[in-house]
Amino acid sequence: MHPQIHAVRPPIAACEAFRWPRLLGARRHWTHACALVLALAGLPAQAEPIGEVDTVFILIGPDHKIVVEAYDDPKVQGVTCYVSRARTGGIKGALGLAEDKAEASIACRQVGPISFPQPIAKQEEMFSERISLVFKRLRVVRMVDAKRNTLVYLTYSDRVIEGSPQNSVTAVAVERGTPIPLKK
C-alpha cells in the first residue's frame, strides 16, 4: 500500500471493511463519511415513531397530524419517554418548510430495570429536534431530584429570539435501592 494513503487512513474498525481507493479525492470522501457515521453514533436519543392520527384533511400534501414518538433515555437504561406533538401537513409540511406548533406533551415510564452505566448530570438535554425551518426546536431535558430519588423530564420549545412558555413535565421515581449517581 502507498505510504501516504496508509498514513492518512483512519484506524476506525467500522471503516476498515472498505477498500481505500488510491485517489486522493475519493479517500477524503471516505474519511468524511466514516467521521459522519461515528458522529451520529454519539448523538442523544433518537425518535422512534409509535403512531399518528390525522387531525385536519389537506387536499394537496399530507394531512395535519398528532404524532407520538418514543425516546429511550441514552444515559438511563430502563426509561422511555413518549412525546406527542402536532406536525403540520400540506405542501409546506411535505417539503419541511412548515412551522410546527410549539405545544407538546410528555410521559416517561419505567420500561425495564433502571440502571445507570455512568454518573449523570443534575440537568442535561436528552433530546432536541428542529420543528421549524430555522428558529424553533423541541427539547427534552432530564433533571434529577436527588432528595426524592426521582428523574424529572421536561419538554418545551424555544426560538432563537424568544422561548415558549408551553411545556410539559413528567417524573419517574427510582427505587431507593438504586441511588442516582450524579456527576461531580
- For residue 124, the surrounding DSSP H or E stretch is strand 123-130
Grid coordinates given for 171? 417524573
pLDDT tens digits for the chain (184 residues)? 433 333 333 333 333 333 333 433 444 444 344 333 333 334 456 789 999 998 887 878 787 788 899 999 999 999 999 999 887 777 766 666 666 666 789 999 999 999 999 999 999 999 887 665 555 778 899 999 999 999 999 998 876 446 657 889 999 999 999 999 999 8
What pLDDT is attached to residue 153? Answer: 98
- Whole-prediction pTM: 0.68
The domain spans of the chain are 3-41, 48-173
Instruction: Give CA–CA dist 172/124, Å, rounded.
Output: 16
Give the dihedral sign, CA 113/148/145/180.
negative
Contact 72, 126 (CB under 8 A): no
Give the Å distances, CA to CA, from 161 to 134, 135, 167, 177.
11, 8, 17, 44
Hey, is 26 helix, strand or coil?
helix
Instruction: Give CA–CA dist 44/126, Å, rounded.
Output: 6
Grid coordinates given for 70? 418514543
What pLDDT is attached to residue 170? Answer: 97
Hey, is 63 helix, strand or coil?
coil
Quickly tell me which residue has 432528595 as its cell.
Answer: 147
What pLDDT is attached to residue 60? Answer: 81
Instruction: Give CA–CA dist 128/126, Å, rounded.
Output: 7
Contacts of 8 by beta carbon, 8 Å cutoff, 6+ apart? 27, 31
With CA atoms as reference, report the closest residue to 70 among 107, 104, 125, 102. Answer: 107
